[in-house]
Chain A
Amino acid sequence: MYAVEVKDLVKRYGTFQAVKGISFHVKEGEVYGLIGPNGAGKTTTLRILATLLEVTSGTIQIQGIDLRAKPEEVRRVISYLPEDAGAYKHLRGREYLKFIAQFFAEGDEAEALVARGMEIANLGERIDDKVDTYSKGMARRLLVARALMIKPKLAILDELTSGLDVLNAQEIRKTVKSFAAQGTTMLLSSHNMLEVELLCDRIALINDGMIVAEGTPAELKQRYDAQNIEEVFVKVVRK
């Protein structure tokens, strides 16, 4: 069983087709990246997998659960981190983690989730400060902690480190790597080719709503005779 299995996924907004029949699968514990230019359909695909948008046609299985038939069950096994997401500004960091934890567990179990979240966020004493006083990097660390503290079967991460400085981005990538090593399947999108190359076991290049290339970073570089994934990207998109 794959962690994610997508077949002939189509997403249409009226006559505009944002996703044009893509198919891919992600193995359990794998880090799978979707890369592509703006408007290629990456975020739409991730939002569909996160049960936020309706499917026009096609099938999606997440951990063997039919997403169209049982979206509530899918929500129990996934965690979604939107691009540029924020947290409730009137809450403190710890309160935000508690608010989220209570949807997944109760009592000591919820406390354990919060403790894990605080460890991932690594905000020190600032965890008890209001979220609206956090820098962008601190807020993103809190949100990554929120997404991973529940140890989801599948983490869907949209533009994981967008807008972050090198140090914050590196720290977050390390966290994601370590959770992937513990068995959480990761499906992410990114514009940062270096990040994709460093993090992903396999990559799908998506352009104009279609997957135009797929493989491990090494396979893709070899196939397109490129030095790095950025070169692969440019060659594929300009083709």
Chain B
Amino acid sequence: MSSLSKIIRKEVKELLTPATLIPIIIIAVLFGSLGGVFGGVEEQLEEPPMIAVINQDGGSLSLVAMAVFNATSDIVYNGTDVQEALNVLDEKGGVSLFVIPANFTSNIENDTQGTIEIFWIMKGAGIMDSVPGAAADANLMYVDQAISATLINHNMSDNASLILDPTQYYETTLFKGKEMTGISPITISSVMSSQSFVMPLIVMMVIIYAGSIVISSMGSEKENKTLETLLTMPVSRTSIVFGKLIGAALVGLLMAVIYMFGMSYYFDSLMGSSSIDLAEFGLTLSIVDYILVGMSLFASLVFALALCMILGIFTKNYKAAQTMTMPVTFLAMIPMFVTMFTDVDTLPMVAKVLVLAIPFSHPMIAMRSLMFDDYSLVLGGIAYTAAVALLAMFVAVTLFKKDILLTGKVSNSDKKSKIPLVALLQTISRKRKK
């Protein structure tokens, strides 16, 4: 074997560790899952949208529209009562109610655009959630085309602009008890898209960065034995743990603010400034809402740091510390990908519970939830995250008083689990039995 190949082998062995491979594999799996989701979206687009129709007109052009709806959509209600139609849609998971008013045909015949009243049932504020609505929206284009063709074929109008654009829409979006007039779910989702991307990204980056500060600090302190010195000082273990956590949390929050400015500017430039102001539709955040978002982020950050502190306790040196950030990275990436593309509320129950069980999910969804006045989810999220953060801090302080802090491992006997936390639990349970 040549010297070159020996060195290459050594380098590959050194670099190709579980620590470098596993994150890549997990990211690949996550992207693969996203691919599956996008594939599902294509299927959704191919399926006819589930709609309700109320035709109060009965004129020839309303019948043309009805024919198009019949051909392109799955009509689950065709009657006269708006509330009844909305109830059926809600029950069957439909996306929209189209109401063709009594004067629809006569208006067009008299050179005025016919109005179709649309009630959108918004499922979630995520980008993917607007897909079924987009299919129904596309069918309106076919309605326009069919009416235009009818006007031309039957010489019903010589008004070119009316022929090109024979209908207008009066839209109302219904979502989480809010009735937003004059805006569609697609518009809401697209205007909110920068926020949907920015918040999860910021939370993930801050958690991973601040977390790695804590773990690296633990690794470095252990390697340099400065931790041993600190632990023999007249200072309580609780002060040491809290000092490290608060220091890293302050740095993390500072980073969050810097990221927030940078990312918001980046996304605004990328997506162009929107002419639609969501505040006009009651979709705005108050100072209290921003404080709640901050509290959610802070609680989540404290949990991340306490978790990293616990992981840092098991590390032996600076290099080993780098691999310890993996679990936190995964925990932050899962809700980031989920909340970027969909609304947690629209997930199946098991998936929803799993996502909400990850404390990092809560600040990621807080802004969107508050915009739709879903205070119970946000306040519950803050309480839950604060509770798990306190628990993690308690565990960290307890472990700081144990040998494991210096040895980096639980006793090397009794055929214990190789997983440090499991082994620790085994030790505790053995002590209790005694």
State the CA gap A211–B412 with chains docked (Å).
24
Give bound CA distance, A12 to B226, whole Å: 25
**Which residue of the partner chain, among A13, A50, A86, contacts B232 with CB atoms under 8 Å?**
A50
Interface string of B211-254 (1 = CB under 8 A from A): 00000000000011110110111111000000000000000000
Partner of B228, one of A72, A85, A89: A85
Contact B407 A13 (CB under 8 A): yes
Contact between A79 and B232 (Cβ–Cβ < 8 Å)?
Answer: yes
For residue B240, give the distance in angstroms from its CB to the closest CB of chain A.
Answer: 11
Give B424 Cβ to nearest chain A Cβ, in Å: 12
Please give, as numbers and ranges, the residues of chain B lying within 8 Å of A72 by CB-CB distance. Answer: 234, 236
Min CB distance A93 to B, Å, is 14
| Known pairs A80-B232, A104-B234; A88 contacts B406 (CB<8 A) | no
Select one of A50, A86, A103 contacting B235, CB under 8 A.
A103
Q: How distant is A44 from chain B, measured CB to nearest CB, in Å?
A: 10
B411 sits at the interface (CB 8 A): yes
Within 8 A of B (CB), among A30-82: 47, 50-54, 72, 75-76, 78-82
B414 in contact (CB, < 8 A): yes
In the complex, the chain A residue whose C-beta lies closest to that of B407 is: A13
Given contacts A80-B232, A85-B225, contact A14 B403 (CB under 8 A): no
Q: Which residues of B contact A82 (CB under 8 A)?
A: 225, 228-229
Nearest-neighbor residue (CB-CB) of A56 within chain B: B403
On whether A75 and B226 interact (CB within 8 A), knowing A14-B413, A52-B406, the answer reads no
Given contacts A82-B225, A87-B224, whether A52 and B412 have CB atoms under 8 Å apart is no
What's the minimum C-beta distance from B101 to chain A, rounded to whole angstroms?
73
In the assembled complex, A182 has its CB within 8 A of some CB on chain B:
no
Contact B225 A52 (CB under 8 A): no
CA distance A86 to B227 in the complex (A): 10
Contact A15 B234 (CB under 8 A): no
Report whether B413 and A16 are in contact in the complex, using a CB–CB cutoff of 8 Å: yes
Q: Smallest distance from the beta carbon of A79 to chain B beta carbons, Å?
A: 7
Query: Which residues of A, 93-139, contact B by the 8 Å Cβ criterion?
Result: 100, 103-104
Judge if A84 is at the interface, Cβ distance under 8 Å: yes
List, in ascending order, chain A residues with CB within 8 A of B352's CB: none
Distance in angstroms from B281 CB to nearest chain A CB is 51
Contact A100 B225 (CB under 8 A): no
Whether the Cβ atoms of B226 and A52 lie closer than 8 Å is: no
Q: Which residues of B contact A86 (CB under 8 A)?
A: 223-226
Other A-B pairs, 15, CB within 8 Å; known A50-B232, A79-B232, A86-B225: A13-B407, A14-B413, A16-B412, A50-B228, A51-B232, A52-B406, A72-B236, A75-B235, A78-B232, A82-B225, A85-B224, A85-B226, A87-B226, A88-B224, A146-B229
22 contacts between A and B (CB under 8 A): A14-B411, A14-B412, A14-B413, A15-B413, A16-B411, A50-B232, A51-B231, A51-B232, A52-B232, A54-B402, A54-B403, A72-B234, A75-B233, A82-B225, A82-B229, A85-B225, A85-B229, A87-B226, A88-B224, A100-B233, A103-B234, A103-B235
